[in-house]
Amino acid sequence: MMNELPNCPVETTLLLISNRWKILIIRDLMDGKKRFGELRRSIGNISQKVLTANLRDMEAQNLVHRKVFPEVPPRVEYQLTEIGYSLQPVLNSLSDWGKTYKNKVAEKSL
């Protein structure tokens, strides 16, 4: 994890969920465990490299737990940690704001 977090709580939150991929990963893991391929398909236009990098970063930040099963071929599942699940209200607020924004923009274009 990071050595020192910012003093501002908003900045801390943004540091942890700073890009669209992390938000979408969290959104898709809110429903429960997913394998790498499931996540990649559900997120859409994300490369394997970018998804891997974001999952590793989120694991280091204690937002995601990675479980490797000793099978051939290896099976890996990703799940939000308790801290990851605590972001649910943040995602709900982002969703509500997005809906409101889209409605206001639609009203102005009429």
What pLDDT does 3 receive?
A: 67
Average pLDDT (21-27) is: 96
What pLDDT does 18 receive?
A: 84
What pLDDT does 88 receive?
A: 96
The CATH architecture that domain 21-108 belongs to is: Orthogonal Bundle (1.10)
What pLDDT does 5 receive?
A: 84
What pLDDT does 84 receive?
A: 97
pLDDT of 16 strictly over 70:
yes
Binning pLDDT at 50, 70 and 90, where does residue 2 land?
A: low
Q: Which of 62, 60, 57, 64 is nearest to 28 (CA)?
A: 64
Determine the residue type at 100.
Answer: T
